[in-house]
Every structure is written in structure tokens, then in C-alpha cells.
Chain A
Amino acid sequence: MTTIPSVVHPRPGDPAITPALVAEHGITPFEYEKLLGLLGREPTFTELGIVSALWSEHCSYKHSRPVLKTLPTTAPYVLQGPGENAGVISVGDGLAVAFKIESHNHPSAVEPYQGAATGVGGILRDVFTMGARPIAMLNSLRFGSLDSPRVRWLVSGVVKGIGDYGNCMGVPTVAGDVMFDPAYEGNPLVNAMCVGLMREEELITAKAQGIGNPILAVGARTGRDGIHGASFASEDLSDENEAKRPRVQVGDPFTEKLLLEASLELINSGHIVAIQDMGAAGLTSSSAEMAERGDVGVVIDVTKVPVREAGMTPYEILLSESQERMLVVAKLGHEEAAKAILRKWDLQAEVIGEVIAEPVYRVVEGDRVVAEFPGSRLVTECPQYAPEARESEIIAGLRQRDPHLVDERAEESDPAWTLRELLSSPTIANKRWIYRQYDSQVRTSTVVGPGAADAAVVRLRGTNKALALKTDCNARYVYLDPRLGGRIAVAEAARNVACTGGRPMAITNCLNFGNPTKPEVFFQFREAVFGMGDACRALGTPVTGGNVSLYNENPQGAVFPTPTIGMVGLILDLAHITRSTFRADGDAIVLLGENTAELGASEYLARIHGLTIGAVPAVDLDHERRLVDALLEAIASGTVHSAHDCSEGGLAVALAESCISERTATFGAHVDIADPLVTSSRALLFGEAQGRVIVSTRDAPRVIAVATAHGVPARVIGHVTATQRLVIGTGAHTLDTALEPLVDAFFDAIPALMQRAATASA
């Protein structure tokens, strides 16, 4: 193959390269000049397609890379940082955990079922191509208001898509977060995270190496679906997107299950040196990225690629995003042994190319060269941009509004009414309607599944350890103040993980933003990433990889900037696993952290007053670090019966959730949070001051002593009761309610809204 003369001519029937065709491929005139310089000639149609995919935002990170480089990525236990299919950390005992989060927003906006399903499929492949067996899935979803029939259609489709794919794969979906806001009306966000487990020595990367080694296409055949998916994901949505439904791939979890088993067997067999998912931009990006990582050349012969239909052009074969395919570099002479493993699983594998010494990315069609790029750094040859960043004056104005000037509604004279309204807000309400459709227990290792604690807990079989897993991002904070919002997203995820007894270890992030060429969007992106970096450094949780999803906007505007955090924590002893619900009558309720008069950016303002205004709560990252340490020490001492973070809805919602979040729970609470420094009852009850956790314990002095030793304010605010009531005194007012109406509000809200969908469509 290496002897083919490198004369590249257009194929018969190729369209002429015109400025219009270049623009249609999303390549700017500036980028086209760069391409001409790289090639020293006009590109062919096939080459234009390749560059269109590789230089899309999705593959090239051309607007985001310089900012992303500011994130901390190292720790002694990080085995693989960003740049591979997934990040990997060591968890001791010779075990390693691979994990990553990825978006499938654009496909899900036009075809929710397949869009979400293939998002799950893609992230699973990213993890098992590292050599890890997937052991848990999480997902982070954002939708518009459930009052909209279209949103209900999106929710139903996305949830079913996630469920059908993950359930069939036998990977439990154990946690996630779902929020609703009109800002996501036209652009839902579907972020899927996968966590895998392996022995450290099983780690394999996607680095092409070994001159002469054969390259194999493995798994499903290549069809005409998903062509230009990567480019599609790198532009704004518009009314024409309905017409782009064919760009959405179709998932087949059964084939993926076979591919999972075959890939792990292949990796363990020693017959291969590298493996990578053919994900976004399919064969093109997988082969170019593998070559780039190994700093070698590759040659691919498209006539050798197994296809679904005759007559597919090189352009189509290279850019297809048909699902459930892998690119594998085998050891020379081991091709047949590798193929035999695939055959056992009823899968196909064909040699389609070779690793070559010559630094070139070459595609041939039989004896004809149809594309050739010099060098092995085609992806990073993409121009980098440093867009202008400027805060939107409108948003700055919203932030400066004083929420305390917002008049209370008449109903608020009964704070129990406000509490019920908040508990029935779909963002806060129980998500059982959603997670009941996910198999959260397969693999029999899910100790704490959805809804029972601040994070999911999955035990590591054969050890006394477990993982605590959580996705999180309050995007309203990020919208009003991206720097603080970025910090809080990480800090809250860490608090959640620590509440279950886990030490926060590392994060993966999924950065969902609007169009980065708009200065106010790029400002949000830059500041949110900086904020995230601040928190990661303070909390000792490096970023091991992730995904950037830009252009999440439509003619009505951009989504809330949503830098979703996927956090992995390590629980050192199964005895430390802690849930969020109260466990025993008479337990003291201890507040760690301090209440403030802050009310800005709250779910209270959004739900009760329809307002997204005010200053985002301050977050003291040093305090957050000490809070995590204090919690973990208190939990390890065996005195903590429950721990729950205060987040959306504030202290009142957190207390209510600790009473009712397991529907059959029988404990109430009686607390007094009157505070001479905070005169606003609604701020005390519903404000979202950061750095707070409520703990129930038999031994309050011990918990307080531990907290004090860590410099964390702590005090007893009340106790758990056997009555079916929640009573919260704020000095001026007393919130006093039976639990039953809270249970109804919390558990029935989403089913009632979704039932409207069924009724409406019936």
C-alpha cells in the first residue's frame, strides 16, 4: 500500500470545488486558505468532506481548546488525562476507573429517541475502548417547560431512548440530574456519562503504532446514516433542522452488547495495540486521531470497508456515523486471531488499512488515491480561535436586581404553600417517572440507586470499596454569573459525593454553550471554565476529559450556559455509605455551614415569581474543601445517620427531602433556624446559600467537634421526630405542615404533567 504514487485527482462525478460548496461544508474562507497552504493544491471533494468533519468544533475544539488548557488535569492517581477516549483514575487494589461524559444535544433535539440512544451508545464505546467494563451510566438532562407538548414529547423520547439502549446493554443507569427551564425550550441537553472498571494493567489507548500493523474495521457495516453528524453538532439549530433528521444515527444496542464483549475479549487477548470508537465523523476522525496520537501515517482503502449498500462513495464511507463500529490496530500477523474473536460474537472485522512510517494521512479507493494530507496532525492543524469575550449587559443588569425587593405573593403568608410549590417544581420534584424506566440494578452492585441519596453508590465487587457518582450543574447560576456558577457546579457535586461518604476524586465535564462567536456566549464559556478550574484546584479534583458542545441555540436564543460536571468519588469502606433520609426518631439535626440572607438566582424566585435575577450565592472554596473533609471524618466515625446537601429550594426543601425522599419514610423533623443576622424568613427557608449540609446523628457533640476541628461552623438546629410533620421556626414565622401533602407534591408532580401528554395525544 505504501508504494502507491500520491497523485490525487477528483473522482468522476465529484462536484467542482466552489466557494459555495466550501461554505456549505462549514469551512470559513480563512480556514480554506489554510487548507490550500497545507495541501499546496485545491482539495478534492473527498478531502473537503474530511476537513469539514475534522475541523468542526465537535472534533477540533477550535474555539475552546486554549481555555480548556487552563483546567487542572493531574493528580498522583490520574492514569489517563484528557485526550483519550476517556479519563482513567486508579482506585487502589490494582483497579482503575475509566469515565467520561458526552453530549448528544443536537440529534436529540430533532429525533429524541435515537438521538439519546446513540448518545448512550457512543459514551459506552468511549469507556470500553479503554479496556474497562462499563459498570454504571448517568445522565444529565435539560428541557424546557413540561407545560409544552413538544417538551413532553422530547422528554418521553429521550428517556425511552436512554432506557432502551442502557437496559439492553446490561449497564445500570444509577443517577443523573434533570432540570427544566424555558431557556432549553428549543435546545434540550442530553449528556450521558459512563463509568467503567478495569484492572490497571488492562488499560489500552487509541494510539496507532507499529509500522506495518494492520488497521481493522470492526462491528457493524458502514451505511449512509449520520453523514456530517459532527458538522451538524457544530452549528445553530434552525427551522431547517427537521430536514436534518437523516443526519441522526440509528442505534442498535444488541450489536453494541456483542461489540462490548468482543472488544474486551480482544483487548485481553493481546492481539491488538489500539482501539477506538468510530464516533463523531466516523472513520475519518477515528483514523486521523489514532494517527495523530501515535505520530505515524495511515493509509485506508475504502473499498475494503464493509458497507451496507453498494455504490457508496469514499466521501460517504469516510463521513458515515453508522453506529456500533470500532477501528482497531492489530499486531501484524494477528489479524486472523483477532477476526476469530469477532466471529465468536457474530461480528465482522476486515483489514482496511495499515500504519505507515511516511507521515501522511492517505485514503485510497483500490489503486486510486482519493485523499491525502501531509503530516500526522490533521486534527490540530485546524486554526485556533480566541474569540472576543464580553459580558451581556442585560444579564449583568439581571444580576444586579435585588431579590429582596420582590413582593411576596399573597399565598406566601403560608410558607408551607411555598414549600409545596417548590417540591412540585419539576426541577426539584422526584424523578421516579424517569428513572423507573432505567434498569438501575443490573450487575447487582448498585447499593444506592436513583433518588435515595445525594449521589449513586456502586460497590466494587471483590473489595470493601464503592464509587460515589453524580452529575450536576445549576445553570441558572452560570447564566447570572458564569465564574461563580462554574465554581458552584463543582463544589455542589463534591458536596453530594461527600454526603454519601465518598472522597471526591476527579471530574469529567460536558460544556454545553451557545454560539462561541458571539462575545457574550464566549464570555460565559471562558468564565465558567475558569470557575470550574478554580474549584477543581481547591477541591483536588482534576478534570480527566470531557466534551464541548457549542451552538446550542436557535433563533429564540441560546440555552443557559450549562457546564455539567460528572464526578467520581471513592468510598473507602462500605460501612461509610450514607443516605439522605432521616433514620431514627430523636436524632439531632446538625447544620454544617451557615445560613445567609442570600436569595438571588434561586429556584424560589424562578418557581414562585418567574424571575431569574439577583446575585448568585457566594461560594468559599476553602470552606467547601473543609466541609468535605469534615463530612468524611464525621461519617467515618460512624456517628452520621444521614447527610443531605442544601441546593435548589434551600434549607426548607433539603429538610423536607430528608423526611420524604424515600416515599415510605416515616420520620418528620422539628427545627428552629431563627437567626438574628438574617431577618428574611424566605431567605432562611428558600435561599440557596452554599456550603451547607444537614446531618442527622445520634451524637451531635461528636459531629460538631469534628466540624469545628476542620473550621466548619456547625450547630444543632433541631431533631428528627416520629410525627408525620415538618416544623421549621424562623423567628418571625413558623412553617408547620403534615408530611403527606409534601409527599404528594414531591412525587406526583412529574407523573401528573406527563399524564397530560398521554391524555393530549390520546
Chain B
Amino acid sequence: MKFGIVTFPGSNCDVDAIHAVTDALGQTAVSLWHRDVDTQGCDVLILPGGFSYGDALRAGAIARFSPIMQAVVAHAERGAPVIGICNGFQILCESHLLPGALMRNAGLQFICDWVHLRVDGTAPLYFSGYAAGQVLRIPVAHGEGRFTADDATLDALEQGGQVVFRYCDADGTVTAAANCNGAARNIAGITNAVGNVLGMMPHPERAVEALLGSTDGLPLFESLLARVGA
């Protein structure tokens, strides 16, 4: 299976995503430059974390105009998988591939920490490797990760099963104390209505090796492999 990882000026988790795909998953990864217009036949596209364009204006606001984004949108519209992690999630929202927006963290500080996530997503494309309601331990590292949308949008996301990850405590209980950035309804990750576009603030690519503290991100990629690779 072939993954395309997009590098925007200021992306800095692109190499980590490539390592996750090649070293942990044993698949092929190609680096896509923001000025590219072709996705080289990749099965899955990843918009990685970082500070594209230095977060000028708003996180992700300028990256959405990069030439590669037309190809990303076309890829998404074909129903093929697109994952936005951290800054990539912000870019997907700015591009309207996903609803809502990501605002400054409630505490106004950048947060790098381990958090717990409850898997609420059930679609096999991304979640067949997880048990329903499974609790993951996974890193976050962001300053603008507070997911926000109007109530109607949030209700629609919930009804459509599009809220796929929520911040929770170690037992899987969704609490205010576990909500590291103050996100609406503890939302850490969502998909689009079709389910092929996934955006999440936590970093699954940082949780694929026991040496680094967790392998809880690995089933996400393995689910894709089982589905798309099949």
C-alpha cells in the first residue's frame, strides 16, 4: 500500500509519519511537495503535523491554497482515505473537507502530553483494529487544538457517527478534567460524513513503537491496511 505524506513549508511531523508507515507498518511512503499537483497514485494521503506557513493568519489557513490541496480534495472526493493529524486536521477544516474549526487551547498554552482517547468510531476503514470504546494512550502536542463547531454541526456529527475520538480518563470516562484543550464535547477526532476523511489532534504516528511508550496508534494504520490493501 502506498501512502503519500504532504510536506508544506513548516511541516515538521512529515518525517515521523513516513517512519510510521515504512518502519512500523512496512508499507511504502512517498513525500509529496506542497507545489506538486499529482499524488503519484497513492492509496492514502496524510497531511502531517507542524506549523505550515508558520501558522500565519490561522493554523492551516494558508496551506489550504497550496497546489497539492486540489489533488487532496480530488482524492477525498473519490472516497479515498485522507488523514489529517494535528496541523493536518487544521488544514482539513480550513479546506472544508471537515466541518468545524480548531481554536486556541482553553488554557492558552501549548500542550505536549500523553492523553487518553476513547475510540467512538466504528467504521472499519479506520477502526477495525480497535474494540468499540477502547481507551488509547497517545500523545498530543498543539497550541490550537480546541475543536469548535455550532451545536447543529456537533449534533449532526454525533448522529452521523462522525465523532471518532474523545478525550477521556484512563477508565474511558469522558470528563471535563480529561479534556486537555477544552474541545467541544471532548472531541479529539472526527470524520466526514462518508467516513474517508479523518482529522485528529492527537498523534497516532507517535504511538507505533513500544520503545517510545505506546503502540496504540498502530491499529489505526493497520485497519487501513486491512481495508484498502485488501
Which residues of A pack against B, CB within 8 Å? 160, 163-164, 167-170, 252-255, 257-258, 345-346, 435-447, 459, 461, 574
Interface residues of B in 76-129 (CB under 8 A from A): 109-113
Q: Is B15 an interface residue (CB 8 A)?
A: yes
B206 touches A436 (CB 8 A): no
Complex contact A164–B110 (CB within 8 A) = yes
Residues of chain A within 8 A (CB-CB) of B109 are 160, 436-437
Chain B neighbourhood of A254, CB < 8 A: 9-10, 51, 53-56
Beta-carbon nearest neighbor of B208 in chain A: A444
Q: Which of B9, B13, B53 contacts A442 (CB 8 A)?
A: B13
Task: Determine the chain A residues whose CB is within 8 A of the CB of B143 once the complex forms.
Answer: 164, 167
Known: A442-B16, A574-B211. 15 other contacts (CB 8 A): A160-B110, A163-B110, A168-B51, A169-B12, A253-B54, A254-B10, A257-B10, A257-B54, A436-B112, A437-B111, A438-B112, A439-B110, A439-B112, A444-B212, A446-B212
Total contacts A-B at CB 8 Å:
81
Q: Is the CB of B111 within 8 A of A436?
A: yes
Interface 0/1 of B167-211, CB less than 8 Å to A: 000000000000000000000000000000000000101100101
Among B51, B55, B203, residue most surrounded by chain A Cβ atoms (within 10 Å): B51
Contact A441 B141 (CB under 8 A): yes
Give the complex CA separation of A435 and B109 in angstroms: 11
Q: A167-B141, A170-B50, A254-B53 are in contact. Are A441 and B112 (CB under 8 A)?
A: yes
Give the docked Cα–Cα distance between A709 and B15 (Å). 46
A444 near B113 with CB under 8 A, answer no
Contact (Cβ within 8 A) A443 B16: yes
Q: Is B19 an interface residue (CB 8 A)?
A: yes
B interface, how many residues as a size bin? Answer: 20 to 34
Question: Would you call A257 and B139 a contact (CB within 8 A)?
Answer: no
- CA A164 to CA B143, docked complex, whole Å: 9
Interface residues of B in 52-73 (CB under 8 A from A): 53-56
Q: When A252-B54, A437-B109 are in contact, do A257 and B211 touch as well, CB less than 8 Å?
A: no
Closest 7 CB pairs between A and B?
A170-B12, A254-B54, A168-B51, A439-B141, A444-B16, A439-B112, A437-B110
A168→B112 contact, CB < 8 A: no
Least distance between B227 CB and chain A CB atoms (Å):
25
| B112 adjacent to A440 (CB under 8 Å) | yes
Question: How many angstroms between the C-alpha atoms of A345 and B7 in the bound complex?
Answer: 12
Chain B contacts for A440, CB-based, 8 A: 112
Asked whether, in the complex, the Cβ of A345 is within 8 Å of the Cβ of B9, the reply is yes
Partner of A257, one of B20, B51, B56, B212: B51
Could you write out 15 A-B pairs with CB less than 8 Å apart? A160-B109, A167-B143, A168-B12, A170-B12, A257-B9, A257-B10, A257-B54, A436-B111, A437-B111, A437-B112, A441-B203, A442-B16, A444-B206, A444-B209, A446-B212
The distance in angstroms between the C-alpha atoms of A196 and B139, with both chains bound, is: 24
Residue from A160, A346, A436 having most chain B Cβ neighbours under 10 A: A436
Query: CA A535 – CA B9 in complex, angstroms?
Result: 45
Task: Give the distance in Å from the alpha carbon of A459 to the alpha carbon of B16 in the complex.
Answer: 14
Whether B19 contacts A461 by the Cβ 8 Å rule is: yes
Contact (Cβ within 8 A) B12 A442:
yes
Distance between Cα atoms of A443 and B209 in the complex (Å): 13
Give A162 to B10 CA distance when docked, in angstroms: 17
Residues 134-174 of chain B: 1 if any A CB is under 8 Å from the residue's CB, otherwise 0?
00000101010000000000000000000000000000000
Tell me the B1-42 residues at the A interface (CB within 8 Å): 9-10, 12-13, 15-16, 19-20
Distance of A201 Cα from B180 Cα, bound (Å): 44
CA distance A437 to B113 in the complex (A): 9
Name the B residues within 8 Å of A439 (CB-CB).
Answer: 110, 112, 141
Pairwise interchain contact B212-A443, C-beta atoms closer than 8 A: no
Chain A residue nearest to B109 in the complex (CB): A437
Task: For A258, list chain B residues within 8 Å (CB).
Answer: 9-10
If A444-B19, A459-B211 touch, does A167 touch B13 (CB 8 Å cutoff)? no
Give the docked Cα–Cα distance between A168 and B49 (Å): 10
Q: Chain A contacts of B49 at CB under 8 A?
A: 442
- Shortest C-beta distance, A662 to chain B (Å), equals 11
In the complex, which residues of chain A have a beta carbon less than 8 angstroms from the beta carbon of B110? 160, 163-164, 167, 437-439
Chain A's closest residue to B113 (CB) is: A436
Q: Determine how close the nearest CB of chain A comes to the CB of B105; give it in whole angstroms.
A: 10
In chain A, what residue has the closest Cβ to B13? A442
Write out the residue numbers on chain B whose beta carbons fall within 8 Å of the beta carbon of A446. 212
Given contacts A437-B112, A440-B112, whether A168 and B54 have CB atoms under 8 Å apart is yes
Residue of B nearest to A254 (CB): B54
Assess the A443–B211 pair: CB atoms within 8 A. no
Distance in angstroms between the alpha carbons of A648 and B141 in the assembled complex: 31
Measured in the bound complex, the distance between the Cα atoms of B10 and A436 in whole Å is: 21
Contacts of A160 in B (CB 8 A): 109-110
Q: A680: shortest Cβ distance to chain B, in Å?
A: 41
Closest to B14 in A: A170
Most chain B CB within 10 A, of A170, A438, A441, A461, is at A441
Q: Which residue of A lies closest to B51 (CB)?
A: A168
Q: Which residues of A contact B53 (CB under 8 A)?
A: 254
Residue pair B205, A444 in contact (C-beta under 8 Å): yes
**Chain A residues whose CB sits within 8 angstroms of the CB of B209 once the complex forms:** 444
Expressed in whole angstroms, the minimum distance between the Cβ of A220 and any Cβ of chain B is 13
The CA of A446 and the CA of B203, in the complex, are separated in Å by 14
Residue of chain B at shortest CB distance from A255: B54
Could you tell me the distance between the alpha carbons of A446 and B16 in the complex, rounded to whole angstroms?
A: 12
Q: Determine how close the nearest CB of chain B comes to the CB of A759; give it in whole angstroms.
A: 14
| Cβ contact within 8 Å between B139 and A441 | yes
- In contact, B212 and A167 (Cβ under 8 angstroms): no
**Residue from A169, A346, A442 with most neighbouring chain B CB atoms (10 Å):** A442
Which B residues are CB-close (under 8 A) to A438?
Answer: 110, 112
Complex CA–CA separation, A442 to B206 (angstroms): 8
Complex CA–CA separation, A439 to B112 (angstroms)? 5
Interface centre among B13, B15, B110 (most CB of A within 10 A): B110
Query: How far is B203's CA from A345's CA once the two chains are assembled, in angstroms?
Result: 26
Closest-by-CB residue of B relative to A461 is B19
Chain B residue contacts of A444, Cβ below 8 A: 16, 19-20, 205-206, 209, 212
Q: Determine the residue in chain A with the shortest Cβ distance to B16.
A: A444
The answer on a CB contact under 8 Å between B112 and A170 is: no
Q: What's the nearest-Cβ distance from chain A to residue B60, in Å?
A: 14
Q: Is A441 a contact partner of B51 (Cβ separation < 8 A)?
A: no
A438–B112 Cα distance when bound, in Å, is 6
On chain A, the residues within 8 Å of B203 by CB distance are: 441
A167, A440, A445 — most chain B CB neighbours (10 Å): A167
Indicate the member of B10, B111, B205, B206 with the most A CB atoms within 10 Å. B10
